[in-house]
Amino acid sequence: MSDQPEWRKSSYSGGREACVEVADLVGATALRDSKNPGVAALTFPEAEWHAFVRGLQRGDFQG
């Protein structure tokens, strides 16, 4: 990995312009708002990120 994160649109953004961008870091995942990339990103440890994605896949967060 390079010193700078490689940001990509989250697959959960549905192709819209207003979206979340994701970057893989060493041992973590970072999230940021694509409309405001200069603001600090949220960073999650790898295990927590994978647990969150599994929850999305199971539908745990549907209202």
CA 40 – CA 55 distance, rounded (Å): 25
Instruction: Note the pLDDT of residue 55.
Output: 95
- Examine residue 1 and state whether it is found in any structural domain, yes or no: no
pTM for this prediction: 0.74
- Examine residue 29 and state whether it is found in any structural domain, yes or no: yes
- Examine residue 48 and state whether it is found in any structural domain, yes or no: yes
- Examine residue 63 and state whether it is found in any structural domain, yes or no: no
- Examine residue 24 and state whether it is found in any structural domain, yes or no: yes
Pair 30, 22: CB distance under 8 Å: yes
- Examine residue 51 and state whether it is found in any structural domain, yes or no: yes
Residue-range definition of the domain harbouring residue 34: 8-58
The token duo for 12 is 């959960």
The total number of structural domains in the chain stands at 1
Taking only the tens place, the pLDDT of each residue in 4-30 is: 889 998 766 666 666 889 999 999 999
- Examine residue 2 and state whether it is found in any structural domain, yes or no: no
